Amino acid sequence: HAKHLGGNSFQFFTEQLPGYSLERLQLENQLRKALDEDQLIVYYQPKLHLASDRIQGAEALVRWQHPEQGLLLPGAFIDIAEETGMIVALGDAVLTKACLQASEWYHRGPAPICVAVNLSVQQLRQSNFAARVQQILDHSQLPASLLEFELTESMLLEHVDAVAENIAQLQQMGIRLAIDDFGTGYSSLAYLKRFPISTLKIDRAFIGELEEQVPQSERSQDAAIIRAIIAMAHSLDLIVVAEGVEHDGQLEFLKEHLCDEVQGYLISRPVSAADFTALLTESTEV
């Protein structure tokens, strides 16, 4: 791209398309290189199963080990990946790494962990996606039951045949499906009946409001929403996970109202695979 950057035409170009700044073009090129050079890594954040007080799951979260800028969070590059279509290759890389890691925990310990991987709708639109997932499971020797995909509400409202077909195939393969950031998207609940969902993850916006600083009136509204989501989920035989749990008070509330699992900084921040293994060793020894 560098040869295009001289003269007034570039000025014009940046004014017409805000967001297409020099930094953005550089980041885009660097991300392409990062995919080639394997600079993406996967962090894992535990999900604590409340009834057993054990870590049975983890969410895989992409990180970019940037050669100059250090470890970058998805907020710095996921949008660019989505806009350029690189999200498909990125998602494939994350899935491959997460399955190999989950397989290692399963075959070599310390404990089997169900790993949840976030998907982009662009992956689900690929007609060969489910077949590709099967290939990765075979290659990594991971039982499908130890893989979960996190989808967002808007993905299930896409009327694209490939998306619905992939979702049905993934479920038939024995992979679990979760709705991420539940409650923030479209409030149509019809898709809960139409799709084979196993888990709802309550968005952390509702959990955060349980904090002490928030006025009692708002807090009790969020508490009511959480109780309603848990009741609805359980009556539909779904598992409920609360995201963004940071304080003891939130944990106590969720325990009292029989939320199944919790995820958040109170349990642990997302950590490297090695640190997760250590955390798991610690928690299974108790």
Residues in the interface with Mg ion (CB under 5 A) total 5
The site map against Mg ion for 149-168 (x = CB under 5 A) is -x------------------
Dist CA 96 CA 42 (whole Å): 10
Query: Which residues, in sequence order, are CB contacts of 242 under 8 Å at separation 6+?
Result: 201, 202, 204, 207, 226, 250, 254, 259, 261, 262, 263, 264
Question: What whole-number distance in Å separates Cα of residue 237 and Cα of residue 242?
Answer: 16
Q: Which is nearer to Mg ion, 30 or 152 (CB)?
A: 152
The residues facing 44 across adjacent strands are 60, 271
The option from Mg ion, ligand C2E, none interacting with 13 (CB < 5 to 8 A, set by class) reads none
x-or-dash string of contact with Mg ion, 178-217, rule CB under 5 A: --xx------------------------------------
Q: Which is nearer to ligand C2E, 44 or 105 (CB)?
A: 44
Query: In whole angstroms, how close is the CB of 93 to ligand C2E at the nearest point?
Result: 9
Provide the minimum distance between the beta carbon of 204 and Mg ion in the complex, in angstroms, as a whole number: 7
Strands 176-182 and 199-202: parallel
The answer to whether residues 262 and 202 touch, using CB atoms and an 8 Å cutoff, is: no
Place of tokens 């020797």: 141
* Residue whose beta carbon is closest to ligand C2E: 264
**3-class SS of residue 181:** strand
Picked from Mg ion, ligand C2E, none, the partner binding residue 91 (CB below 5 to 8 A depending on kind) is: ligand C2E
Handedness of CA 225, 78, 99, 126 (dihedral sign): positive
Give residues in contact with ligand C2E (CB under 6 A).
45, 61-62, 73-75, 78, 87, 91, 94, 118-120, 150, 180-181, 204, 244-246, 263-265, 270
Nearer to ligand C2E, 4 or 83 (CB): 83
